[in-house]
A and B are shown apart, each in its own frame.
Chain A
Amino acid sequence: MIQAIAVKLILSAIVAIASIYVGLGLKGVDRKLAARMQGRIGPPLRQPFWDVSKLFQKENIVPYHAVDWVFNLMPLVAFTSAIVIMLYMPIGPLKPVLGGFGDLILVVYLFAFPSLAMAIGGFSSGSPIGAIGAQREMVVMMSYELPLAIVVFSRAMILSSGGIEGLTLKLAIDPWSMVGMLGIIGLCLLLASLLMVIPGELAKIPFDQPEAETELAGGVLAEYSGRNMGMFYLADAVKSLAIASLVIALFFPWGISSYFSGLPELGGYAVTAWALDGAFFLLKVFLILLVSVTVVRVVMPRVKIDRASSFYMFTTGAIAAIGMLLIYICINGGF
């Protein structure tokens, strides 16, 4: 028992550290690519690492009017919850570390945690700019929860129809092979709406209203500095990895090692196959973030908050709902 807990703890620590590094690396790639698309040279790939190490060395200022314990606690909450999401995610060939302790519903709510922590932190900062940013954070969050929930439950519906417990994340199950033509169209719609949710979830242009630099001077993050700011920065980096992992777990849970035969093994473990699958996983993460974050934030301006809200509630929600309906018809009608 104790041994099992110790193994889990060690694995958790490895996943946490790895996801921080990968998340920051992805941020560096995103910044470089966005810069190149805008005709700039852009920062070096290591820039996010330097930023974080600098932030952690800086003075941590708590505003005079802030509720200081909430203000200081929230970055930690955001950061830890982002890490915990990663512990529930199947990472490439590896099963989720905490796979036995929760299901997809838990993960969906864990995704709300960093945003919630940011909003509470913004409210507790005692600054009107932070308060307006926090309000906007809540509005955006409530708007994209609907399509997100529809996507997750539709996928659960497919698995349940195949006799598998639908909400599990433990197994890498390919939903595409379990449905007919109509279901595949439905899955495409669901995938599209999930990709639309990503910029909102990560507060990136065009849905960066909570932080809107030119409107609110950083909004929820306006009063944060030093270590607290660094925590939010890390939480953001890990969250982008986590949301991409969610897309992979729900829609693209394939590896490529099975297509190769005779991969060398090391001491009875399929190390090469794992490495191959891990690299493929990173490639998938990169592609998903490229499509839904980098390209989108380069080609779009920021929209207004009411527009963002209606976009998620109605447009994205409708696309997801149609996808769900098609899948329902497919499963129950046998198309």
Chain B
Amino acid sequence: MEPIDGDGILNLFKTRMGGAILSSHVDTYVNGVRKKKLQTVWVRVPRESLREAVSLVLEMQAPAHIAVASGSDLGNDIEVLYHFQVFWGFKRESTVSVTIGTTCPKSDPHLPTISDLVPGALITEREKQEFLGIIIDGIPDPRRLFLVDNIPEGKHPWRKDEKGVQDMVRNVHEGGD
């Protein structure tokens, strides 16, 4: 598919996904003396539509380039954002960052895998599992990646609740033994 700009990508998402999009916007920044445009597209979808949204990214450019997935603890939910780069390598400044966000409740922390659609997502999915305490259904290699074995099961560094690692941190400046 020929490269389109951020607004075009957002329109494509809106026409194809329709009501499944929870929220979306395009950020535009300018750079340099010549004030060149740089766009990032943010689309948030429910987890049932995640794979559909990723397939749409694949339609724009395949194989897709996933930069990383980032995640956050929103309180009751866990949000995972998949940062894609689409239209890389076509011509100068053709690339647009497309972020697809989805959430899952902490009571049922399951997300579908996208590593069959984007093989490069395996590493970041493994990291999300161990750091956020979510379960990626269908991940080909569910082992831990960065966390070594001496972090106990059920502890996830990015969680801000009782599953986080705050209680394992020793603040040296507070004294103690």
User: Does a CB–CB distance below 8 Å link A and B in the complex?
Assistant: no
Interface on B for A, CB 8 Å cutoff? none
CB within 8 Å of B: which residues of A? none
